[in-house]
């Protein structure tokens, strides 16, 4: 069982120093090696140190999850539709309408190979590993959202940082309430896929 100091240093290294380093220009191969090594370490700690067991909690109120997620999606949809309409109306649904095969492939790849690993790291691992280090739950959620936003610093885009901070708050609250990596990944995928679909892909680093 590692000490509190070890965990704070671990948090600083994995969730602050590495993401900041990715914003600098250096070998993409080295960045990939660092990223893979970091994720491998996280998986090792989850299963070997924290003894995490991925299982579906039958007590989860799935109906409430879907209703809440749908309400949030409607709000997000309205706000982003208005934003894209006024800032870049030509991009509205452009990939879905003009490149439907690319649209489907990107949504599948994004959901499986981007969203799920992010949620394993930033919700499952982060909550399991560090929640007991913070007595204030609100502070813990805000910190989680801030570090999730920091992970997107390499985009060097203020809009991306803002959206991922807001998203981080939503996902942290969902995970706090459900304790489900699967459900929070579904929510994350829904919102991310919508942003790409509505025409914000180029703003958020999606290929288009």
65 neighbors 174 (Cβ within 8 angstroms): yes
pTM for the model = 0.94
Count of beta carbons in the 10 Å neighbourhood of residue 205: 13
- The whole-number pLDDT of residue 51 equals 82
- The whole-number pLDDT of residue 79 equals 97
Q: Hey, what's the torsion of the CAs at 45, 51, 56, 58, to 10 degrees?
A: -140
- The whole-number pLDDT of residue 81 equals 96
- The whole-number pLDDT of residue 101 equals 93
- The whole-number pLDDT of residue 2 equals 75
- The whole-number pLDDT of residue 56 equals 66
Average pLDDT of adjacent 10-residue blocks, the chain of 208 residues = 88 97 96 96 91 73 92 97 93 92 93 95 96 95 98 92 97 95 96 94 72
51 neighbors 44 (Cβ within 8 angstroms): no
């Amino acid at each position: 069982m590692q000490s509190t100091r070890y965990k704070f240093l671990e948090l600083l290294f994995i969730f602050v120093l590495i993401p900041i380093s990715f914003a600098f220009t250096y070998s993409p191969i080295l960045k990939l090696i660092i990223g893979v090594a970091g994720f491998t370490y996280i998986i090792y700690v989850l299963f070997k140190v924290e003894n995490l067991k991925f299982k579906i909690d039958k007590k989860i109120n799935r109906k409430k999850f879907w209703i809440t997620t749908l309400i949030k999606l409607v709000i997000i949809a309205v706000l982003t539709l208005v934003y894209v309409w006024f800032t870049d109306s030509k991009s509205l649904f452009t990939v879905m309408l003009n490149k439907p095969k690319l649209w489907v492939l990107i949504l599948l790849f994004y959901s499986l190979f981007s969203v799920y690993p992010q949620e394993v790291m930033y919700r499952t691992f982060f909550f399991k590993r560090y929640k007991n280090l913070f007595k204030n739950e609100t502070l813990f959620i805000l910190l989680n959202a801030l570090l999730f936003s920091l992970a997107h610093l390499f985009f060097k885009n203020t809009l991306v940082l803002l959206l991922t901070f807001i998203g981080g708050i939503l996902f942290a609250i969902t995970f706090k309430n459900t304790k489900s990596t699967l459900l929070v990944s579904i929510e994350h995928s829904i919102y991310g896929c919508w942003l790409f679909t509505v025409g914000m892909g180029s703003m958020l680093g999606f290929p288009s």
